């Protein structure tokens, strides 16, 4: 009888831990290295330049922001700011609004934007009246800019951009990463705890019966009872369980 360790289970737990760790790192890396304002801008995913699509993540190149918000969003702790945005060429510009959570430092950052020093932020495009978007946004925004003919002609009134919703997605990804990371640790702990438990079981058996000389060859020949289907072996005063993880029970202590 050779030492029977649950190698398959050990490897399976390690693989599960690695996969969970990949999920965790992937979720973090996606927002830290891929969904960044600079990277989106380099890819050409720029608000006003790329195709408008609800819930699309884009870079917003801001060259002007009205200092005061144009209003707060009902049922949310966010505010809308009037902005002037442009594509790669600053001569190709338009007007829209951006949703930012109250107290977010990015609101102060975009207020310093100008043509010579634009501020690029990552945000999610939202369509007026879409599920979860601002209700009657188009109507209200058109009404706000109606008196300025120049702005009205160049304004994007059907879509707005939301830093707030982009940040919500990022926070959700971090939560997923945290949970996946914890699960990975549980898998790794279980794998090594199982292996450690098996090592302890064998050492207990060898310590109790020095005649085994750290070999299991004589256990079956001298066993009092053997059940291969259940994976049970009774050797002297110890019950050996070999079905999955190797375990030993000292019957004198039970």
| 55-77 pLDDT, tens digit each | 999 999 999 999 999 988 888 89
Low-confidence ranges of the chain (pLDDT < 50): none
pTM reported for the whole predicted model: 0.76
Please tell me the distance from the alpha carbon of residue 79 to that of residue 179, in angstroms, as a whole number. 31
Taken as a whole, the chain contains a residue count of: 254
CB 84 within 8 A of CB 78: no
Please tell me the distance from the alpha carbon of residue 187 to that of residue 184, in angstroms, as a whole number. 5
pLDDT score at 86: 93
Please tell me the distance from the alpha carbon of residue 157 to that of residue 127, in angstroms, as a whole number. 9
pLDDT score at 252: 82
pLDDT score at 45: 93
3-class secondary-structure state, position 105: coil
pLDDT score at 217: 77
pLDDT score at 2: 62
Please tell me the distance from the alpha carbon of residue 253 to that of residue 226, in angstroms, as a whole number. 21
**CB neighbour class for 213 (10 Å; exposed up to 12, middle 13-18, buried from 19):** exposed
Helix (H) or strand (E) holding 176: helix 163-208
Please report, for residues 80, 93, 161, the alpha-carbon distance to residue 158 in angstroms, rounded to integers and kept in the order given: 15, 16, 11
pLDDT score at 56: 94
Helix (H) or strand (E) holding 57: strand 57-65
């Amino acid at each position: 009888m050779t030492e029977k360790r649950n190698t398959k289970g050990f490897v399976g737990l390690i693989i599960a831990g690695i996969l969970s760790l990949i999920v965790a790192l992937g979720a973090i890396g996606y927002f830290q290295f891929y969904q960044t304002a600079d990277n989106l801008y380099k890819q050409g995913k720029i608000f006003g330049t790329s195709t408008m699509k609800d819930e699309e993540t884009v870079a917003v190149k801001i060259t002007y922001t009205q200092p005061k918000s144009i209003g707060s969003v009902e049922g949310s702790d966010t505010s809308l700011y009037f902005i002037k945005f442009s594509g790669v060429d600053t001569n190709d510009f338009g007007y829209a609004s951006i949703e930012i959570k109250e107290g977010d430092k990015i609101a102060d950052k975009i207020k310093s934007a100008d043509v010579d020093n634009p501020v690029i932020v990552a945000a999610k495009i939202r369509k007026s009246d879409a599920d979860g978007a601002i209700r009657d946004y188009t109507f209200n925004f058109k009404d706000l800019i109606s008196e300025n003919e120049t702005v009205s002609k160049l304004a994007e009134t059907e879509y707005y951009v939301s830093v707030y919703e982009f940040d919500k997605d990022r926070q959700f990804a971090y939560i997923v990463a945290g949970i996946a990371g914890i699960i990975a640790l549980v898998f790794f702990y279980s794998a090594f705890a199982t292996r450690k438990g098996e090592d302890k079981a064998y050492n207990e058996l060898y310590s109790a019966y020095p005649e085994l000389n750290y070999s299991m060859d004589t256990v079956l020949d001298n066993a009092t009872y053997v059940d291969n289907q259940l994976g049970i072996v009774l050797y002297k005063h110890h019950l050996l369980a070999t079905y999955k993880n190797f375990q030993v029970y000292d019957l004198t202590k039970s």
